[in-house]
């Protein structure tokens, strides 16, 4: 009965709840159909559980003698725990606010719809932009094709220019051959002219030498005549010798003639050398001019070829750069298209939003559900009835309310521990397992709360046994002699078939009271037949 709520607790619980108007105003635009259905089902289950518990409590109350009126009153009342759970479903202001906060309101749905429309507009804009980019890409492809055509045309022009250069080089080779033929012809003419000039010069030299020879002979003859005249004129030998010494001898004359010839030969060789130099200079001058012209023409042609190659290289490099830029732009567009497609895939379409909106409950359905809930609530006990019931229950059960801490344990193993201490194998009942602690097959029960306890014990065997109660290992009560007003038939046994076959009907039972300190260990020791069973009951008074 301590689990029942008094009037103050009920008022306190109801004050923390939300009223119907606030609840309706908050839930007018915030509700989920699935959660509402779950709430309704859970509420019905809690109400059924509450009815079951109320019936169970009423059944227990009916067991008490002279309390029929209380049982009739409590039959109409509701339990505190089911009421709290039932009211906790839709009454707690904080929990309700949190639950409502999790719902999407109309403004957020409108904002979501606007965002969807905006995203749809953005998607349309991106689609238009994609179409524009596709058009630009097609234009760029056309431009690339035009550039490729221009490049092929330029290559063809280069081939034509190379063929023209080759033809010009062939013409130039013909001119060079013509120049070489002219040079050879001029060289032949010069050589023939030089030979004629050399012949004429040698003839003239021979004529000059002959004339000189004649003049020398004439002079010699003249000198000889003069000498002879003088010899004739002078008789003296010494005078003749002196005069002859002053004249030239024949060896000196021959030597002079040899020197003169040598000089003329040197002059002739020098002249021939000069003529050869002149010829070489003429040949070299002519060949240099022709070679200069050929080299100049060749250098011009090479310069043109180099300039054309450079121009082609620049145009090729420019075309390659444009192609690289187009490839980069194409890859960037592909990446942007991929991002756009990914974003489009992440966005919710109209069908998804329609499905999400269909999953939500509308206001009319929620109002109908709330009407059903209110009708179910009206069928339950009112606040005044619950308050009066709890007050009556509190007044009725305030005196024995402290005796709800009780427990009963059974010994069925037929075997004791050392010194005959009884192990408790089963726990039959325990209304407060926190303060009456039991562990299976342990020899003691731990009483956490201090105070007055009622102890009931019993052992069933063929012969009357003896027992002793121990508190914290120390003996407290010894039970051995039979009372005078109790008669035990120790030999009677139950031999019929059924659940309790071959059990003893009588033995030793005892009821007593103990004042126990906190965390006391209560145990029993047994002395008697081996095939015995027993129980122990403790109640906190």
Q: Where are the domains of the chain?
A: 23-177, 406-482+503-540
Position 489 scores a pLDDT of: 38
DSSP state of 423: P
Extended beta strands in 56-180, E state: none
pLDDT value at residue 281: 61
What are the C-alpha distances in Å from 264 to residues 54, 260, 271?
168, 6, 10
Report the alpha-carbon distance of residue 425 to residue 52 in Å, rounded: 31
Note the pLDDT of residue 490.
41
A 10 A CB-CB count for 524 gives 27
- Spell out the SS3 assignment of 206-224: HHHHHHHHHHHHHHHHHHH
- Residue 238 has what pLDDT? 53
- Which distant-in-sequence residues (6+ apart) come within 8 Å of 155 by Cβ? 312
Mean pLDDT per 10-residue section of the chain, whose length is 541 residues: 56 57 59 64 69 64 52 55 53 54 58 67 69 72 74 73 68 64 68 68 68 68 63 51 52 66 72 68 59 70 74 78 82 78 70 68 75 79 72 59 77 87 93 92 93 92 87 90 44 41 74 93 90 91 90
Give me 457's structure tokens: 């014990």
Q: Which residues contact 290 (CB under 8 A, 6 or more apart)?
A: 176, 179, 183
For the structural domain made of 406-482+503-540, what CATH number should be given?
Answer: 2.60.120.40
Please give the C-alpha separations between residue 430 and each of 445, 512, 536, in angstroms, as whole numbers.
Answer: 11, 19, 12
Four-residue CA torsion sign, 64, 67, 69, 73: negative
pLDDT given for residue 366 in this prediction? 75
What's the predicted TM-score (pTM) here? 0.29
3-state secondary structure of 475: strand
């Amino acid at each position: 009965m301590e689990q029942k709520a008094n009037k103050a607790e009920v008022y306190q619980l109801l004050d923390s709840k939300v009223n119907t108007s606030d609840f309706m105003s908050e839930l007018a635009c915030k509700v989920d159909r699935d959660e509402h259905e779950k709430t309704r089902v859970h509420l019905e289950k809690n109400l059924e559980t509450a009815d079951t518990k109320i019936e169970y409590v009423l059944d227990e109350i009916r067991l008490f003698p002279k309390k029929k009126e209380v049982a009739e009153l409590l039959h109409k009342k509701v339990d505190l725990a089911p009421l709290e759970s039932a009211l906790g479903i839709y009454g707690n202001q904080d929990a309700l606010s949190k639950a409502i906060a999790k719902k999407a309101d109309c403004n957020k749905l409108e904002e979501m719809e606007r965002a969807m429309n905006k995203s749809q507009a953005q998607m349309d804009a991106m689609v238009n932009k994609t179409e524009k980019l596709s058009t630009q890409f097609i234009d760029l492809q056309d431009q690339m094709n035009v550039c490729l055509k221009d490049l092929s045309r330029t290559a063809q022009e280069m081939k034509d220019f190379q063929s023209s250069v080759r033809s010009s080089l062939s013409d130039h080779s013909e001119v060079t051959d013509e120049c070489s033929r002219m040079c050879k012809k001029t060289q032949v003419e010069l050589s023939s002219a030089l030979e004629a000039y050399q012949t004429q010069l040698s003839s003239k030299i021979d004529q000059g030498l002959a004339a000189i020879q004649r003049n020398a002979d004439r002079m010699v003859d003249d000198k000889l005549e003069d000498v002879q005249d003088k010899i004739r004129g002078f008789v003296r030998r010494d005078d003749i010798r002196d005069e002859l010494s002053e004249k030239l001898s024949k060896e000196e004359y021959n030597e002079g003639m040899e020197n003169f010839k040598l000089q003329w030969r040197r002059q002739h060789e020098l002249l021939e050398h000069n003529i050869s130099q002149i010829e070489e200079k003429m040949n070299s001058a002519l060949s240099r001019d022709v070679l200069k012209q050929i080299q100049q023409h060749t250098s011009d042609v090479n310069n043109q070829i180099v300039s054309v190659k450079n121009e082609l290289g620049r145009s090729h490099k420019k075309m390659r750069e444009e192609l690289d830029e187009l490839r980069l732009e194409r890859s960037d567009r592909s990446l942007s298209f991929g991002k756009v497609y990914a974003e489009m895939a992440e966005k919710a379409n109209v069908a998804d939003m329609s499905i999400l909106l269909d999953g939500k409950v509308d206001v009319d359905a929620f109002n109908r559900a709330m009407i059903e809930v209110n009708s179910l609530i009206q069928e339950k006990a009112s606040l005044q009835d619950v308050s009066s019931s709890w007050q009556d229950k509190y007044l009725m059960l305030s005196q024995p309310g402290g005796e709800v801490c009780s427990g009963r344990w059974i010994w069925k193993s037929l075997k004791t521990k050392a010194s005959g201490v009884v192990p408790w194998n089963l726990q039959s009942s325990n209304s407060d397992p926190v303060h009456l602690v039991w562990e299976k097959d342990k020899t003691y029960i731990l009483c956490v709360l201090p105070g007055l306890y009622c102890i009931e014990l019993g052992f069933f065997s063929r012969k009357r046994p003896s027992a002793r109660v121990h508190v914290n290992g120390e003996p407290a009560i010894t039970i051995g002699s039979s009372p005078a007003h109790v008669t035990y038939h120790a030999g009677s046994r139950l031999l019929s078939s059924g659940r309790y076959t071959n059990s003893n009907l009588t033995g030793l039972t005892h009821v007593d009271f103990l004042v126990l300190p906190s965390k006391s260990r209560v145990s029993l020791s047994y002395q008697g037949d081996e095939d015995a069973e027993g129980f122990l009951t403790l109640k906190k008074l």
